[in-house]
Amino acid sequence: MMHVSCKQETGSVTGGHSEFDSVIAVADRMGDAGQSEAALSMVQQAHSTMKSLSMDDHILYYTWSNVLFNNAGKHDRSIEAADSLIWLLNEADESSSVATARIVAYNIKADALFAMGRYNDAYNYYYIAQKMAVDNKDSCAMRTYTYSLAMTLFRQARYQQSAKRFIEALAQSGACRKEFNLFYFQQEVLDNIGLCYNSLGKYDSAMLYYKQALDFINDNKGLYTTKPASVFEAAKAVVYGNMAEVYMHTGRYDSARILYEYSIEINLHKGYTNKDAIISQVKLADLLFRTGETEASGNILKLIEAELDTIPDRRVEMLWHKLMWEHMEHEHDSLNAFRHLRMYTLQNEEYVKSNKSLMETDLDMRVRDLEKQYRINLLTQDRRQQNIWLLVMALIVVMAIAIIFLVQRNARKSRRNLTLMTQLNDTINEQKQQLEEAVRELQNKEKDKTRILRSVAHDVMNPIAAIVSLTDILFYDKETLNEEQIHVINLIREASANSLNLSKDIIEAAEQKDDQNLEKEDTDINMLVARTVELLNFRALSKRQQIITRYPAEHIHARVYKDKIRRVINNLVANAIKFSYEGTVIHVTLELTKKGMVHLTVRDSGIGIPSDKLPHVFDVFTDARQAGTMGEMTHGLGLSISMQIAKAHNGDIWVESEEGKGATFHFEFPAEHT
């Protein structure tokens, strides 16, 4: 498991008020001694009461407070501190220190959002900070962006790419001012590079970087005499624990055990990295079990069980259940073994689910999306400029018309103005040609706009899907949320899911008219219906509904656009579930008619369709849509798409319904036997 230190490289600023600097120095020592809350209270009191604080003092206050908020896991407070700092900097006169602090503030907010699992929002703010760093030619500020990408890649198990990014961040940090925060950042990055190579099985390279991290700590600890020895001991203990894992992989179990025990002994002390200690305990228990020391392994597992109450860690708890399961199996205690196996399986599924959004995130694609959005914003600004020019052209046309009127009126008074009128007429013709050219150019721009909007329509599905995944991550930790927060999360999930479905339906409706690139394939219609219904059974079960299917004795085959036929079946059965009451039965019947037509019938006993809406259910964006029996939303596109698919197969789709007595949908298309 990767150790992440208390990430203190958010930036450090020395203020202009010596008394406030002294308060920060005292608070630093209190924080190192484990008195973070008291230190924060003291700094907040000083910040609110001291007068004549400079901009650098305010920057120091917010960045220092953020370190404590992050260490305590109070990421919402960290976001508040970042927003306050951003507002303050936007009101200040621009300077190099203000520009650098603004980059720090956006990185602070991105770090907090990332820790909360709001990955897409985090990448947006990292991107803003990166753009600012590039514009200011600030290599030091760039290291935070590079480090965050490296951490994400590591959690996605893309270790080679992660190591490359960590090395890049280490090089960028060379441009930073020498201070304790930079030292802590650099030793952590060296350790993380070793972890990457350890995960790749390159143990010699991993050990090389671990030793570099230890040497770096030993060589630099004398430079920071105000820091207690515990800070450096804890950092070294983390590295020793990681070295132990290399020894375990290479079969040097005695060396691994010694280092694990040393790392645990150091980091279990108050004020040290306790979470790293409990992680090392899990690894040591596993090592002892594998080497036959089951009693010693069991004793450590008992210690871990007691420590989980004060040092909660879901990942450690999951691994603890796995080891307990193996122990119970070894002791032939099947009942307890099954209990621990069940808990491990459930927690592992939750862990995988909670990390699904992060694992599916394509960083390169996300960066390209942000660049694309940046270009779209530029295009939007260009269009605004074009609109201004069009307005000017319109004013010119109005003026030209006024000139024509005046010329014609004056021409009646005197033929001497005929020559002038002719010249003006020529001018107007020329302006007319220019206007026509402008109109043609506007039409071309309109086509460009359509293409851009189509691209955006596709791209917007990614962040909406990410929102759905992120709300699932939040809901996973629901025991820490109150009822109002859970209710809000559910509203977000429902709204996001509806938006995602609407986006898919709009794109599907547009693409239905472009089937020339598709090829029909021979399809077993019986199997297609069966598999589609099977996938929808879970929806029906959630409403205690039963789907009864009936098929002909012999399988029906037809050459069709398989995915599109599946879409129609899915739409009809899903609608039946949506508009049927709980505990009812839905009938799905497939048959081959005497005329050689595949005929699918989906019949429910739900709410039915009012007679005035019945003729419009297959219209695009129909007003005939209505909510399901449990308030399920509908966009009115599904049946329209189904009708297009039916026509594309030389078939038809129709409905028979009476309000309050359910509905029966018929879908028919030609069958071609093989």
Domain with 556 in it: what CATH number? 3.30.565.10
Q: For residue 178, which of 224, 231, 217, 235 has the smallest C-alpha distance?
A: 224
654: three-class secondary structure by DSSP: strand
The answer to whether residue 208 is domain-embedded is no
State whether 395 and 413 are in the same domain.
yes
Indicate whether 102 and 19 sit together in one domain.
yes
Q: Under DSSP, is residue 289 helix (H, G, I), strand (E, B) or coil?
A: helix
The strand pairing partners of 523, in sequence order, are 558
- Report yes or no on 126 lying in a domain: yes
In this prediction, residue 369 has a pLDDT band, given cuts at 50, 70 and 90, of: low
What are the pLDDT digits (tens) for 83-118? 888 888 888 887 777 888 888 888 888 888 877 877
Q: Which domain holds residue 378?
A: 362-459
| CATH number, domain with residue 1 | 1.25.40.10
Same domain flag for 127 and 5: yes
Residue among 72, 88, 73, 131 nearest 107 (CA):
131
pLDDT at 245 over 80: yes
Which of 304-308, 327-331, 334-338, 453-457 is predicted least confidently? 453-457
Reported confidence tier of residue 601, pLDDT bands at 50, 70, 90: very high
**Same-domain pairing of 3 and 87:** yes
78 shares its domain with 104: yes
Q: Note whether 575 and 594 are same-domain residues.
A: yes
Q: What is the pLDDT of residue 207?
A: 93
Residue 4 has a pLDDT of: 39
Distance CA(166)–CA(150), nearest Å, equals 6
Residue 547 to residues 412, 513, 603, 609, 663, Cα–Cα distance (Å)? 86, 32, 10, 20, 15
Half-sphere exposure of 265 (CA within 13 A, CB side): 7
pLDDT digits (tens, 9 = 90+) for 486-506: 777 776 766 666 566 656 655
Helical axes 55-71 vs 75-91, angle rounded to 10°: 170
* 521 SS3 class: strand
434 falls within a domain: yes
Q: Let me know if residue 283 belongs to a domain.
A: no
pLDDT of residue 213: 93
pLDDT recorded at residue 110: 81
Last residue of a domain, one of 87, 114, 137: 137
- Does 336 fall in a domain? no
Burial per residue of 164-198, b for 16 or more beta-carbon CB atoms within 10 angstroms, e otherwise: bbbbbbbebbeebeeebbbbbbbbbbbbbbbbbbb
β-pairing, 546-550 with 585-592?
parallel
CA angle 49, 54, 55 (to 5 degrees): 115
Token pair of 376 as six digits: 């779209």
Specify whether 530 is located in the same domain as 665: yes
Q: Phi and psi of 557, rounded to 5°?
A: -115, 145
Domain contains 332: no
Domain match, 431 and 481 both: no
Whether residue 362 is predicted with pLDDT greater than 90 in this model: the reply is: no
Query: Do both 415 and 525 map to the same domain?
Result: no
User: Pick from 170, 235, 234, 233: which is nearest to 196 by CA?
Assistant: 170
Looking at the domain assignment, is residue 612 inside a domain?
A: yes
Identify whether 614 is part of a domain.
yes
Spatial distance between the Cα atoms of 207 and 91, rounded to a whole number of angstroms = 49
Segment among 46-60, 127-141, 209-223, 315-329 with least mean pLDDT: 127-141
The H or E element that residue 509 is part of is helix 483-511
Q: Which one has a higher pLDDT value, 35 or 85? A: 85
Do 128 and 74 have their domain in common? yes
pLDDT attached to residue 360: 58
Domain count of the chain? Answer: 4
Domain match, 450 and 553 both: no
C-alpha distances (whole Å) from 299 to each of 290, 318, 339 are: 15, 18, 19
**618, 661: one domain:** yes
Under a CB-based contact definition with an 8 Å cutoff, are residues 263 and 244 in contact?
yes
Q: 0.75 cut: is pTM over it? A: no
Residue 394 has pLDDT above 70, yes or no: yes
What pLDDT is attached to residue 504? 60
